[in-house]
Amino acid sequence: MALLYDLGQLPNELLLIWHTHRVALLLSAVALVTVVRLAIYLRGQREKVSVSPAPASPVEKKLVELRPEWLPENTTLNVSNLNLDDHAEEDAIAVATIVKAKKGPKTVKGKKISKKIATPAPSFDHKTDKIQPLVFFQSLSGTTERFAAQFAKVLTEWTTGCEQSASFLEPQTFDLSYTEFDDYFLSPPKAEPNVKHFYFILLPTYNIDTVLSIFLESLQETHNDFRIDTAPLSGLLGYSVFGFGDKEGWPTEEDGFCSQAREVDRWMARLTGRKRAYPLGMGDVKADADARLQEWRTGVQEALVEIAEGRGLGEGVRGSGDAAESDEEDIDDAEDSNGQTTRVDDVEDLGSMVTSSSTAIPVDFTTYKSAPKSKSTTGPKEMVPTTSPTYASLTKQGYSIIGSHSGVKICRWTKSALRGRGSCYKYSFYGIQSHLCMEATPSLSCSNKCVFCWRHGTNPVGTTWRWITDAPDLIFDGITAAHYKKIKMMKGVPGVRAERFAEAMRIRHCALSLVGEPIFYPHINELLEIMHKSRISTFLVCNAQHPAQLAALVPVTQLYVSIDASNKESLRKIDRPLHRDFWERFCACLDILRNRRFEQRTVFRLTLVKGFNMAEEVAGYADLVERALPCFVEVKGVTYCGTSAAGSAGLTMQNVPFYEEVAEFVTHLEKELASRGLTYGIGAEHAHSCCVLLADRTRFQRDGRWATRIDFERFFDLYEGKAQGTRMENGAVVGWRPEDYVGGETPEWALWGNGGFDPRDQRVYRKGKGPKTEDGGGGGEQAGKKVDAAALEF
């Protein structure tokens, strides 16, 4: 009973205890929860620490798959197969070290480089230091070049005659078309420690794609590259920009007057940490350019005196103490006016960004000289508008521009063949009669700036296709019509043979090369299909910079890759590619060529330029041949076009090899290939074009005799399915092989040692030149003749 009574009292007892000790109880509960939470937190911290490797402990290495944007769909780049450092130096490091982490959301850790530039101005000790003035210019139609030369001359006179002359080194001038941007705009140039640089930049403005756009992209790219200081040029003493524009077409800055010079000035301010030594100068080429330039020069000279006397850039400019300059450069350029980030990580986006960041410039090429145009430009531009210097230059030299990005021209060999005076080397080697051949390109733009290309400065360049695109059938109709028109114009030329003239009215072959990069055109496959359906054979030359397009190309009659150098450094110097990963692209193209060598005739085209890519490079070229195993290797001496562009690229007649030198080079290459067990032999020559052919003996010899010619009709039959090919896969026929359309034997007169001139043609010697041997052939030719740029042949 007593027990029942005690239990009945329990709730009351508990209530009493709660009322008496509730504060203590609540405090104890809070303390307990805190201790438990703390314990969980500390445990978590310990786990994180233990995930990190102990100092110097081995970390797991993982192979990181490189997947550049140019790789074809569903393809991965096997770095070990690419042998990227076969002949080269510091190539891509494909193995990155990665600390194995727990699965979970990927966190990217990085340190944002402060936009505020801390780098102080380089101090200038006027007793020991020297100022090296560098004058950079860019010119498409020569105006800025003339002004720059004049400016450099007066500046030189001033630096040698002024009171501070001991502080100055002789000014140097650079054409930006031929300047490696990375050598001057990624950091100040390398020099003795007491030599400090000052940049003068003189530029025109073009509201179309030109090399200038590439320069702007490169400045922007450098500034935005998160691996580089945002002001990598702060080591310069200073800079100043002068722009040339045309107020007739672009009356005000709003309309785009000198817009590119203004942009360059702004990027330079950012890259130098605001070292603008003198304000941007601008001149109207049709009015006051001369006076404005003199004014600007006097101003910059005064700034140079200040520097030379140790006073830096003067008041109000960063580096001199008072960073009071205030304009848009102070604003964090990572944000545009809408507050949206404009930082780019994809280099390919830069083109459009540069355009969009500039003052919106109207592009109405039909009204170039008319009233100011409205401001907005949307959508792509024409690659070669009729008002562009490129258009003027190309048409002047006999090119017909089709649409806005294709070109056609009859080469001198077509004219020569019409007159019965001989065809080009393609006749000797492959049986192509020059009067049946059309030379064209669907892309006048290119991603290289090769030193031997005569069009520099004026040719459109770009790494991606971003122009208005013409349809392939329109291009085909346009180029064939223009070709026939030009042939017809030959009707009255003395010596043209009637039968050849009649034959020429049916195009049989197309050399897709001319200038520019044909596979850059997005519908190249459709264009090729149209040609093949019209029974026109296709010889396509590409510059080994577009592996994705190369891999996706339909088989052509003969596929060429230009091999302008045997190693990375030499390729960089001679082709001056726009792609930073040019060597990887080049190597990938070689591997694609190797894979496709049983589908179509593949050719290496070597253009030898003395002093650039000949000496000591035989082994390097042999490496490349070994890698791609092309069916043929054509070795050709460069043709000197004698333009100022070639001159600025450092090319002179001394760079044009003699035929004997080309022949000697080929003999060495043949030996080198043989020493590696490769089965190449010298198949044919055409001394007149300074060209020699190496071919794979196992594939293009019949009973020990060379058979380098092509059976074109058989190629079309194979293409149309009228004849069956012999390319097999898993026991089934999957297509044709180059061996299926090998033509007749290489004629005797074309074989090595016989000169390569068809005896049925009439040989015409240039004034003062005569036959070296009785038969008129045999290695006596001199390639080193200055020819008109229009005489360049594929």
Ligand X SMILES: Cc1cc2nc3c(=O)[nH]c(=O)nc-3n(C[C@H](O)[C@H](O)[C@H](O)COP(=O)(O)O)c2cc1C
The whole-angstrom separation of Cα 487 and Cα 731 is 48
The beta strand positions in 39-185, using DSSP E, are 61-63, 95-97, 130-137, 172-175
The one of ligand SF4, ligand X, none whose footprint includes residue 256, by CB under 5 to 8 A per kind, is ligand X
Residues that bind ligand X (CB under 6 A): 139-145, 204-208, 244-246, 249-250, 256-259, 285, 361, 387-389
The one of ligand SF4, ligand X, none whose footprint includes residue 387, by CB under 5 to 8 A per kind, is ligand X
Nearer to ligand X, 399 or 752 (CB): 399
Is residue 207 part of the contact set for ligand SF4 (CB under 6 A)?
Answer: no
Is residue 445 part of the contact set for ligand SF4 (CB under 6 A)?
Answer: no
Nearer to ligand SF4, 117 or 638 (CB): 638
The nearest distance, CB 351 to ligand X, in angstroms, is 16
Is residue 641 part of the contact set for ligand SF4 (CB under 6 A)?
Answer: no
Q: At 241, is the secondary structure helix, strand, or coil?
A: strand
The one of ligand SF4, ligand X, none whose footprint includes residue 361, by CB under 5 to 8 A per kind, is ligand X
- Is residue 286 within 8 Å of residue 247, measured between CB atoms? yes
- Contact with ligand SF4 (CB under 6 A) among 268, 450, 628, 663: 450
Q: Which stretch, 50-58, 84-92, 442-450, 683-691, contacts ligand SF4 (CB under 6 A)?
A: 442-450
Q: Order of strands across the sheet with 195-204?
A: 172-175, 130-137, 195-204, 238-245, 281-284
The nearest distance, CB 367 to ligand SF4, in angstroms, is 30
Cβ-closest position to ligand X: 245
Map tokens 């054409």 to a residue.
175
The whole-angstrom separation of Cα 567 and Cα 580 is 15
Is residue 448 part of the contact set for ligand SF4 (CB under 6 A)?
Answer: yes
- Is residue 130 within 8 Å of residue 195, measured between CB atoms? yes
Is residue 453 part of the contact set for ligand SF4 (CB under 6 A)?
Answer: yes
The nearest distance, CB 455 to ligand SF4, in angstroms, is 6
- Contact with ligand SF4 (CB under 6 A) among 140, 300, 384, 515: 515
Is residue 394 part of the contact set for ligand SF4 (CB under 6 A)?
Answer: no
The one of ligand SF4, ligand X, none whose footprint includes residue 751, by CB under 5 to 8 A per kind, is none
Query: Nearest to residue 758, comparing CAs of 740, 775, 779, 781?
Result: 775
Map tokens 């780049």 to a residue.
77
Nearer to ligand X, 139 or 443 (CB): 139
Helix (H) or strand (E) holding 20: helix 2-51
Nearer to ligand SF4, 631 or 792 (CB): 792
Helical segments of 339-488, H only: 350-357, 389-396, 412-418, 425-430, 472-488
Is residue 543 part of the contact set for ligand SF4 (CB under 6 A)?
Answer: yes
Is residue 540 part of the contact set for ligand SF4 (CB under 6 A)?
Answer: no
Is residue 256 part of the contact set for ligand SF4 (CB under 6 A)?
Answer: no
Q: Render 154-197 in DSSP notation, one character per residue.
A: HHHHHHHHSTTGGGBPPPEEEEGGGS-HHHHHSSPPP--TTEEE
The whole-angstrom separation of Cα 397 and Cα 480 is 18
The one of ligand X, ligand SF4, none whose footprint includes residue 342, by CB under 5 to 8 A per kind, is none
- Contact with ligand SF4 (CB under 6 A) among 418, 438, 446, 512: 446
Nearer to ligand X, 252 or 675 (CB): 252
The one of ligand X, ligand SF4, none whose footprint includes residue 423, by CB under 5 to 8 A per kind, is none
Helix (H) or strand (E) holding 17: helix 2-51
Nearer to ligand SF4, 282 or 446 (CB): 446
Nearer to ligand X, 145 or 599 (CB): 145
Nearer to ligand X, 361 or 624 (CB): 361
Binding map of ligand SF4 across residues 516-535, x = CB under 6 A, - = no contact: xx------------------
Is residue 171 part of the contact set for ligand SF4 (CB under 6 A)?
Answer: no
- Kindly tell me the burial class for residue 274, based on how many C-beta atoms sit within 10 Å of its own C-beta (0-12, 13-18, 19 or more): buried
> What radius of gyration do the chain's Cα atoms show?
34
- Is residue 589 within 8 Å of residue 579, measured between CB atoms? no
Is residue 544 part of the contact set for ligand SF4 (CB under 6 A)?
Answer: no
Q: Which stretch, 90-98, 445-453, 487-495, 637-645, contacts ligand SF4 (CB under 6 A)?
A: 445-453
Nearer to ligand X, 144 or 443 (CB): 144
The nearest distance, CB 137 to ligand X, in angstroms, is 8
Tokens representing 456 are 């520099």
The whole-angstrom separation of Cα 410 and Cα 408 is 7
The whole-angstrom separation of Cα 219 and Cα 242 is 17
Query: Nearest to residue 157, comparing CAs of 312, 280, 301?
Result: 301
Tokens representing 561 are 């890759």
Looking at residues 402 to 421 of the shown chain, list those that interact with ligand SF4 (rule: CB under 6 A). none
**How many other C-beta atoms lie within 10 A of the C-beta of residue 731?**
5
**How many other C-beta atoms lie within 10 A of the C-beta of residue 347?**
18
The one of ligand SF4, ligand X, none whose footprint includes residue 630, by CB under 5 to 8 A per kind, is none
The one of ligand SF4, ligand X, none whose footprint includes residue 258, by CB under 5 to 8 A per kind, is ligand X
The whole-angstrom separation of Cα 570 and Cα 180 is 13
Chain contacts with ligand SF4 (rule: CB under 6 A): 446, 448-450, 453, 515-517, 543
